[in-house]
Chain A
Amino acid sequence: MTRPNRGGQTFHPPALARWVVRLCVPSDVRDGVLGDLEEGFERIAASRDGSQAARRWYWKQAIESVRFLYQYPHRSGRTARATEAFGLGRPSLFGLVLELRLAARALARRPLYATLVIGTLALGLGANAAIFSFVNAILFRSLPFPNPDQLVILQERHIEQGNVAGVAPPTFADWKDQSRAFSDLAAFVPDAFVLTGGLTPEQVSVATASPNIFRLLGTRLRSGQGFPPDAEYEGGERVVVTSAGFARRWFGEEEDPLSRTLTLNDEQFRVVGILPDDFRFLVQPDLWVPMHIASGSLSEGMRGARYMSVVGRLASDVTVAAATEDMSLLARSLGEVHPNNRGWDVTLTGLHDFVTTDVRRPMLIILVAVIFVLLIAIGNTTNLILTRSTEARRDWAVRKALGASTWQLLRASLAEHLLLAASGGALAVILTTWALPPIVGLAPAGMPRLEDVRVDLTVIAYVTIISLAVGLVMSAMPWISGAVHGSLESLAGRNAASAAPRNRLRHTLIAGEVAISVVLVIGAGLLTRSFWELRNVDPGFDPRGLSVVRMSLPNERYQTPVQRSTFAEELTARLASLTGVKAVSPTNNLPFSGSRFAFGFYPDDASLADGQPQPSAEFHAVGPGYFQAMGIPLRSGRPIAKADGEGSAPAVVINDVIARMYWPDTDPVGERLTVISQTGPVSREIIGVVGSVKHGGPSSDWIPEVYVPFAQDAWSFMTIVLRTDGTDLTAEARAIVASVDPTLPAPSVQPMTEVAAQWFAPLRFQMVLAGAFAVFALSLACVGLYGVISYIVHLRTAEIGIRMALGAQRGDVFRSVVGTGVMVTGVGLVVGIAAAMMITRGLESLLFEIVPADPLTYASVALLVLGVAFAASALPTRRATRIDPVIALREL
């Protein structure tokens, strides 16, 4: 074949364009079209316009050939030829599009069926997409730092008692000097400062941190250089790095806040950096300030003040295991030199794990639950499909008789079901995108990375894959039920007998749905009971009628302990004079608030053998009215009194746990105990023993606790606890704070019950979700059961009519049909209970004091499911028994 030639070059039509044409053109005109395009190409190339024009023309034709996909007529003869093209030879886009168009037409003829299937699938898939969005954002997406696997949180762990605490400043300094496993270490402490310069003074969340922290994390500041390296030394200029949100809120959008100053705690801080919007870390305060490690903090006594959080970046090629070993050795060597480090080890947790560990198990369990719900949805749509396939059987039988091959029929089924599944999936994505923000709003605020929860490409990919799988499963159903092998004989009678094998399949599906629902309902029931048990736990104090006023005193005016305790005394006295106040006291460490002060202690007369680990207790500095305000019972001795002031003998009140530990048979009052606090170890006389408090939340253990007089150890962050007779004294309390020191920002005033509620929030969220799924699942199963029973009744209408005409009682018919329904449900119930027993063992970690095989829950669920199933079967059957036998017989 000769090609146009210009100066020795041959010109070819662009291969890609030709491929596009080939893809779109149906086989019966393929040669004609391609040949014509060749002709046209050669003609233009050989003419004055040249080869460029020819290529352009060819591409134009190629794009136009998309018309074949949607405009080419497809009836009778063309259909056969077209589907041939989509056969086992070359795949053709034309054939594929044709199948989908035909499927869409067929579905459009049955709008109710299509709507039901798509709707059910959309709900099931949507629920899955929503939960997966959470799981993806919280568990899967890695934190936005370079090499995030190298980031590790370090904590001190008491070897014998097993409790984990923060890191003490002198210990941190030693780690920085001596550890080789880390390329960098940084400490950070959450705090609150008073920001003035706005309308009123306000309290802002601040983290004081080692100046190298952002370099360690690898965060690139949105603007500014960040902390200068010498920022941790005293006497330097005060600098601050702000979060993106704070900068926007305080300085506005247009201003560049760099080099502006903020007045914090009456001092000027210069802004030297702004964090990016997507900064995510364990703490996300408004402001970051470099940590000054005063020489006083490096004393021996301070080795017991384990309050700092520490993050480290592993040196390259160092694994977490190797680093753990290295740090453990370091901890042991420190313990040999410093008594306050004795008995403490180091524990390392990857940053990502640290953030997600609490939620990982529950999230995965919920993911499994929502997949169960999807299975039920699929069960129902399968039943719908089976119902429709009975009608389609005739259609197929005719087509087969006319020569359609099995492959062609299967292809059509595949196209239809994939189209249904894809539509369900697309609708699910839309529903989820719309519904996700409200669901995120319901989630407990403590859940990490909630702001990252959204429908992104990963979620869409997940939905796509599941939709395709669902589509494939659905298209397989008619085969399984034997519809494909339908023949002309089946055209004759649409009766119960021929439906028998499909009925068995239907029954199995329903039993399966019931089983799955039972598992979900049992799970929800267990979570609910667990939640109630948790709520009923005695925390050791009485939160009703308790209000808490939280504040922190700025360092500049409250530097000395005397200043702080004077403030506390004045405030307490004025608050006590309010009507309705029964008891008031300050404390530095409120239970149930997430605050922890793990300080070391030891009885003076107990000689600590070498190497014996030093015990640690929850440390509280409280005022005279504390135990009365909190409702903590006094076991022996006396509570802290006004007389236990700064000049008096150091006193301490211990709890049950310590008393039992060291003085199991005697009264410890009068004995001496040394407590290590911010001032170092102080030997104190035990003046009383009180009941224990579950400091770390309702599910925490009883641990040693010590209470020292606030006047003898005053802290700058304090919470005032107020026992009232029920009246809301928020405004009055705030006014009194302002009257003692008007420059303080208005403190937060909360009922204790609100503070305690945060402990229940995660479990409540799980309970609500599980409950919602259980209800959804059970409803779907009931709808499915109702559908199946209705269908059976429909099939057996004639039979019922005859039976009743021959004298059968309503009751007999009723019993027989409902009996089927109940039996199917019963099977599902038994299977479900067995499965639940096995599966809920995995829930044990989530459950509080409820054994997974809790008989009360199981019994209630069984009754519920049977009752509901009875109703779902009874309704259609009642209609059946009302049938006029004459009409029924006409169906024959």
Chain B
Amino acid sequence: MTKGTYLAEFEQVVLLALARIDGDAYGMTIYDEILSTTGRESSIPSVYVTLARIEEKGYVSSHTGNPTAKRGGRAKKYYRLEASGTEALRRSRTLMDQLWNGVDLGLQEPHS
């Protein structure tokens, strides 16, 4: 784990989506979570690419499930948030809060 690297925006999005999901988190469910929570339509490939990058950094871990008849016999690849991932999220949040502090852009909802 590298100390001091910060998360890119979509990396944060994916990690947060993972954090929100209770239970099986794989490509599709992460994509759905992002879509239903924020309305942002990303794409399956970009989700996977981001998951691979953050897995490289050790923020998440993955394991392959059993093939099911449903998806044409293709197994699902599940992802799980690791402690270092949580730590990275916290760091990012702190960074954002520090910068937002005192900034008044006339937004509707105060960013607390």
B26 is an interface residue with CB less than 8 A from chain A: yes
Closest residue of chain B to A21, judged by CB? B45
Distance between B81 CB and nearest chain A CB, rounded to angstroms:
17
Question: Contact residues of A with B, CB < 8 Å?
Answer: 1, 24-25, 29, 31-40, 60-61, 64-68, 71-73, 75, 78
Complex A-B: 12 CB contacts under 8 Å: A1-B69, A29-B52, A29-B77, A32-B64, A34-B74, A38-B74, A61-B45, A64-B44, A64-B45, A72-B52, A73-B53, A73-B56
From known contacts A29-B52, A73-B53, A73-B56, infer whether A34 and B45 are also in contact, taking CB-CB under 8 Å.
no
Decide: A40 and B28 in contact? CB cutoff 8 A.
Answer: yes
Contact of B76 among A32, A65, A68 (CB under 8 A): A32
From known contacts A1-B72, A29-B52, infer whether A36 and B43 are also in contact, taking CB-CB under 8 Å.
no
Contact of B72 among A38, A67, A71, A78 (CB under 8 A): A38
Which chain B residues (54-89) contact chain A, with CB distance < 8 Å? 56, 64, 67, 69-72, 74-77
Decide: B46 and A36 in contact? CB cutoff 8 A.
Answer: no
Contact of B77 among A32, A37, A61, A71 (CB under 8 A): A32
Distance between A265 CB and nearest chain B CB, rounded to angstroms:
76
Closest residue of chain A to B56, judged by CB? A73
Residues of B within 8 A of A32 (CB): 26-27, 48, 64, 74-77
Distance between A20 CB and nearest chain B CB, rounded to angstroms:
11
Distance between B48 CB and nearest chain A CB, rounded to angstroms:
5
Q: Please give 4 more A-B residue pairs, beta carbons under 8 A apart, in addition to A39-B71, A71-B49.
A: A1-B69, A38-B71, A39-B28, A61-B45
Complex formed: what's the CA distance from A639 to B49 in Å? 97
Decide: A36 and B56 in contact? CB cutoff 8 A.
Answer: no
Decide: B45 and A35 in contact? CB cutoff 8 A.
Answer: no
Decide: A72 and B49 in contact? CB cutoff 8 A.
Answer: yes
From known contacts A39-B28, A72-B52, infer whether A31 and B44 are also in contact, taking CB-CB under 8 Å.
no
From known contacts A33-B27, A60-B43, infer whether A68 and B49 are also in contact, taking CB-CB under 8 Å.
yes
Residues of B within 8 A of A31 (CB): 64, 67, 74-75, 77
Residues of B within 8 A of A68 (CB): 45, 48-49
Complex formed: what's the CA distance from A65 to B70 in Å? 23
Q: Name which of B28, B44, B70 has the most chain A CB atoms within 10 A of its CB.
A: B44
Q: 4 closest Cβ contacts across the A-B interface?
A: A35-B74, A32-B77, A35-B71, A64-B43
Decide: B56 and A35 in contact? CB cutoff 8 A.
Answer: no
Complex formed: what's the CA distance from A39 to B71 in Å? 6
Complex formed: what's the CA distance from A67 to B48 in Å? 10
Decide: B49 and A33 in contact? CB cutoff 8 A.
Answer: no
Contact of A36 among B31, B64, B69 (CB under 8 A): B31
Distance between A455 CB and nearest chain B CB, rounded to angstroms:
38
Complex formed: what's the CA distance from A40 to B45 in Å? 13
Complex formed: what's the CA distance from A288 to B28 in Å? 75
Complex formed: what's the CA distance from A612 to B90 in Å? 112
Residues of A within 8 A of B27 (CB): 32-33, 36
Residues of A within 8 A of B72 (CB): 1, 34-35, 38
Complex formed: what's the CA distance from A60 to B53 in Å? 22
Distance between A36 CB and nearest chain B CB, rounded to angstroms:
4
Residues of B within 8 A of A34 (CB): 71-72, 74
Residues of B within 8 A of A73 (CB): 52-53, 56
Residues of B within 8 A of A39 (CB): 28, 70-71
Residues of A within 8 A of B53 (CB): 71, 73
Distance between A413 CB and nearest chain B CB, rounded to angstroms:
27
Complex formed: what's the CA distance from A66 to B46 in Å? 10
Decide: B69 and A33 in contact? CB cutoff 8 A.
Answer: no
Decide: A1 and B52 in contact? CB cutoff 8 A.
Answer: no
Complex formed: what's the CA distance from A682 to B24 in Å? 113
The A contact surface, by secondary structure, is helix
From known contacts A68-B49, A71-B49, A73-B56, infer whether A36 and B44 are also in contact, taking CB-CB under 8 Å.
yes
Residues of A within 8 A of B75 (CB): 31-32, 35
Residues of A within 8 A of B26 (CB): 32, 36
Distance between A21 CB and nearest chain B CB, rounded to angstroms:
8
From known contacts A39-B28, A40-B28, A67-B49, infer whether A33 and B71 are also in contact, taking CB-CB under 8 Å.
no
Decide: B45 and A67 in contact? CB cutoff 8 A.
Answer: yes
Residues of A within 8 A of B48 (CB): 29, 32-33, 68
Complex formed: what's the CA distance from A39 to B75 in Å? 12
Which chain B residues (16-60) contact chain A, with CB distance < 8 Å? 26-28, 31, 43-46, 48-49, 52-53, 56
Complex formed: what's the CA distance from A25 to B53 in Å? 15
Distance between A109 CB and nearest chain B CB, rounded to angstroms:
22
From known contacts A1-B70, A31-B77, A68-B45, infer whether A36 and B28 are also in contact, taking CB-CB under 8 Å.
yes
Closest residue of chain A to B51, judged by CB? A29
Complex formed: what's the CA distance from A75 to B48 in Å? 16
Residues of A within 8 A of B31 (CB): 36, 40
Decide: B44 and A61 in contact? CB cutoff 8 A.
Answer: yes
Residues of B within 8 A of A66 (CB): 45
Complex formed: what's the CA distance from A35 to B71 in Å? 5
Residues of B within 8 A of A29 (CB): 48, 52, 77
Complex formed: what's the CA distance from A24 to B43 in Å? 15
Residues of A within 8 A of B44 (CB): 33, 36-37, 40, 61, 64-65
Complex formed: what's the CA distance from A68 to B43 in Å? 12
Residues of B within 8 A of A35 (CB): 71-72, 74-76
Distance between A57 CB and nearest chain B CB, rounded to angstroms:
9
Residues of A within 8 A of B43 (CB): 60-61, 64
Distance between B79 CB and nearest chain A CB, rounded to angstroms:
10
Closest residue of chain A to B42, judged by CB? A64
Residues of B within 8 A of A61 (CB): 43-45
Complex formed: what's the CA distance from A71 to B81 in Å? 21
Complex formed: what's the CA distance from A78 to B70 in Å? 28
Distance between B55 CB and nearest chain A CB, rounded to angstroms:
9
Distance between B65 CB and nearest chain A CB, rounded to angstroms:
9
Complex formed: what's the CA distance from A31 to B31 in Å? 16
Distance between B69 CB and nearest chain A CB, rounded to angstroms:
6
Residues of B within 8 A of A40 (CB): 28, 31, 44
From known contacts A32-B27, A38-B71, infer whether A64 and B76 are also in contact, taking CB-CB under 8 Å.
no
Closest residue of chain A to B67, judged by CB? A31
Q: Name which of A25, A32, A39, A71 has the most chain B CB atoms within 10 A of its CB.
A: A32
Complex formed: what's the CA distance from A75 to B55 in Å? 12
Complex formed: what's the CA distance from A29 to B75 in Å? 10
Complex formed: what's the CA distance from A72 to B72 in Å? 25
Closest residue of chain B to A39, judged by CB? B28
Complex formed: what's the CA distance from A38 to B69 in Å? 12
Closest residue of chain B to A24, judged by CB? B45
Complex formed: what's the CA distance from A37 to B27 in Å? 9
Complex formed: what's the CA distance from A31 to B67 in Å? 9
Complex formed: what's the CA distance from A60 to B31 in Å? 14
Distance between B76 CB and nearest chain A CB, rounded to angstroms:
6
Decide: B70 and A75 in contact? CB cutoff 8 A.
Answer: no
Decide: A67 and B46 in contact? CB cutoff 8 A.
Answer: yes
Distance between A275 CB and nearest chain B CB, rounded to angstroms:
57
Complex formed: what's the CA distance from A64 to B31 in Å? 14
Complex formed: what's the CA distance from A405 to B13 in Å? 40
Decide: B45 and A65 in contact? CB cutoff 8 A.
Answer: yes
Complex formed: what's the CA distance from A60 to B70 in Å? 23
From known contacts A36-B31, A72-B52, infer whether A64 and B74 are also in contact, taking CB-CB under 8 Å.
no
Q: Name which of B26, B31, B52, B69 has the most chain A CB atoms within 10 A of its CB.
A: B52
Distance between A495 CB and nearest chain B CB, rounded to angstroms:
41
Residues of A within 8 A of B49 (CB): 67-68, 71-72
Complex formed: what's the CA distance from A71 to B28 in Å? 19
Complex formed: what's the CA distance from A37 to B71 in Å? 9
Closest residue of chain A to B70, judged by CB? A1
Complex formed: what's the CA distance from A68 to B49 in Å? 7
Complex formed: what's the CA distance from A34 to B46 in Å? 14
Decide: A75 and B74 in contact? CB cutoff 8 A.
Answer: no
Complex formed: what's the CA distance from A25 to B74 in Å? 14
Residues of A within 8 A of B71 (CB): 34-36, 38-39
Closest residue of chain B to A71, judged by CB? B49
Residues of B within 8 A of A33 (CB): 27, 44-45, 48
Closest residue of chain A to B30, judged by CB? A36
Complex formed: what's the CA distance from A542 to B49 in Å? 83
